[in-house]
Homo-oligomer: A and B are copies of this chain.
Amino acid sequence: MAIQDRKERQLAEREQLFLSAAREQICQDGLLSLQMAKVARACDYATGTLYQHFASKEDLLVAICSELVDKRVEIFNRLVTWDAPTRERIFGIAVGDIIFAHHYPEHFRLAQFVFTEVVWQAASAKRRQQLLETSKPMGDAVQRIIEDAVAAGDLDPHGRPLLEMTLGQWTMTLGMHNLVHAEGVLELYNLRDPYRMLLRQLNALLNGLGWQPQQDPFDEQALEALVQRIQRNVFADLCQDQNGCKNL
């Protein structure tokens, strides 16, 4: 029945409306001042209507996070299909995450929050399972890169799994993003170029993976060139506007 379709469409639209209003509020005033009533009001609906879409505030946050994971998966997949030497593709994952962090700052901050015990604990077992499931595609993407590399013969199949690199990279990116957004920290540590520093560290991580034959880490110049190349070839659409990847 067509009517049913329309209703579903409207429902989905409104859900998006709520989600983006919530995101906007988070960007604007921070996670702390996100209020259900405000979100509803911003969309010209009553509080109760919002609660028909999301059973709780936590639920809303988790929904935003799911979007986040989807976007991140999309970014991962670009690297998987990118035609380049394996090491560069792997490094690209890290660069992708940084670009992602630039483009969806509220998402990244939220991920930090949601995967932190605070929300994690609040979430029901079922919800947790859901969140974990969502990240499966990301693992698959990484798996595919591993297989390619082993097939190409330039990664030791018995070496330390690439997964370690990925997790390490992820935690470091989250952590760095955290530092960048904590007012005063960069100054205290006199960190002028946090993302560059992150890249250098990732370079060290990458190099420990067990390449065959063993390879030197990228030097500063190679690193710079690589980042440029990745931005141009893989994330061209994201990196054109002025608030894009400038500080990268």
Q: Which residues of A contact B (CB under 8 A)?
A: 30-32, 109, 112-113, 115-118, 120-122, 128-129, 132, 135, 139, 160, 163-165, 167-168, 170-172, 174-176, 178-179, 181-185, 188-189, 191, 197-198, 200-201, 203-205, 207-208, 217
Distance in Å from the Cβ of A12 to the closest Cβ of chain B? 29
Please, which residues of chain B bring their CB within 8 A of the CB of A171?
A: 171-172, 174-176, 178-179
Q: Are B184 and A129 closer than 8 Å at their CB atoms? A: yes
**Chain B residues, Cβ within 8 Å of A132:** 184-185, 188
Q: Is the CB of A182 within 8 A of B115?
A: yes
Known: A117-B182, A132-B184, A178-B115. A122 touches B32 (CB 8 A): yes
Question: Contact between A128 and B183 (Cβ–Cβ < 8 Å)?
Answer: yes
In the complex, what residues of B have CB within 8 A of residue A174's CB?
171, 175
Q: Is the CB of A32 within 8 A of B121?
A: yes
Which of B113, B170, B191, B204 makes the CB contact (< 8 A) with A116?
B113
18 contacts between A and B (CB under 8 A): A112-B117, A113-B118, A115-B178, A117-B181, A120-B183, A129-B184, A132-B188, A160-B200, A164-B201, A167-B189, A168-B201, A170-B175, A171-B175, A201-B205, A204-B204, A204-B207, A207-B208, A208-B217
| Inter-subunit contact A172/B181 (CB<8 Å) | no
